[in-house]
Amino acid sequence: MKVCIIDYGMGNIKSVSNALDFLGFEYKIINHPGDNIEEKIIIPGVGAFGDAMKNFEPFLSKIREAIDSGIPILGICLGMQLFFENSEESGEINGISALKGCVTRPKTNLILPHMGWNSLKIHKPDCPLFEGIDNGYVYYAHSYHVDAEREVVAATSNYGSKIIASIWEDNIYGTQFHPEKSGEVGLKILKNFLEL
């Protein structure tokens, strides 16, 4: 069984692939929209929403098809934000729009970007990502976060205000934090996804 990592020029491909190597899972890096999608998909991401969507455009139809067909798909950080409708960071540029919500700057008096470790509060213990995990700490590196409907919120953190840490709806999973940089908790989250 392979997982496909989508390389659209905005992702932390090396750190994600290193984590999968450590866990002993096979993966394939997809950098051409004509490549075959396997059984699971990871969309990493670092950078600005607008630039990411421009780079991601060639993959859009294939990703929407994968979502519709029930293939498990995990977005990490910016990769999670792309599932939503738009971002105040990038004006008129739309996201994948698989989920309702927008990407905004956190309403906090604390310094942005939000960098480093933060505690995780799990709201959906039945979310497969969190099987065997009782909260814990995870690693963040972001200046924007998702403002989404409560129904999709699987976990939160607090950084002067609530940060949506993780989302889950059907076959769509996302983490605002970087599981590949989040020690044992993060590796367990990745392992849970890979074993779906």
**Domains in the chain, CATH or no CATH each:** 3-194 (3.40.50.880)
pTM of the model: 0.95
pLDDT tens-digit profile, the chain (196 residues): 689 999 999 878 999 999 999 999 999 999 988 888 878 999 998 889 999 999 999 999 999 999 999 999 999 999 999 999 999 988 778 999 999 999 999 999 999 999 999 999 999 999 999 999 988 999 999 999 999 988 999 999 999 999 999 999 999 999 999 999 999 999 999 999 999 9
What span, in angstroms and rounded, lies between the C-alpha atoms of 63 and 45? Answer: 15
Q: Quote the tokens at residue 41.
A: 């998909």
- Residues found in the chain: 196
What contacts 53, CB < 8 A, 6 or more positions away? 82, 90, 93, 94, 95
Q: Which residues are part of the catalytic machinery?
A: 77, 178, 180
d(CA 105, CA 128): 28
Q: Who contacts 120 (Cβ-Cβ below 8 Å, separation ≥6)?
A: 135, 136, 137, 138, 155, 156, 157, 165, 166, 177, 185
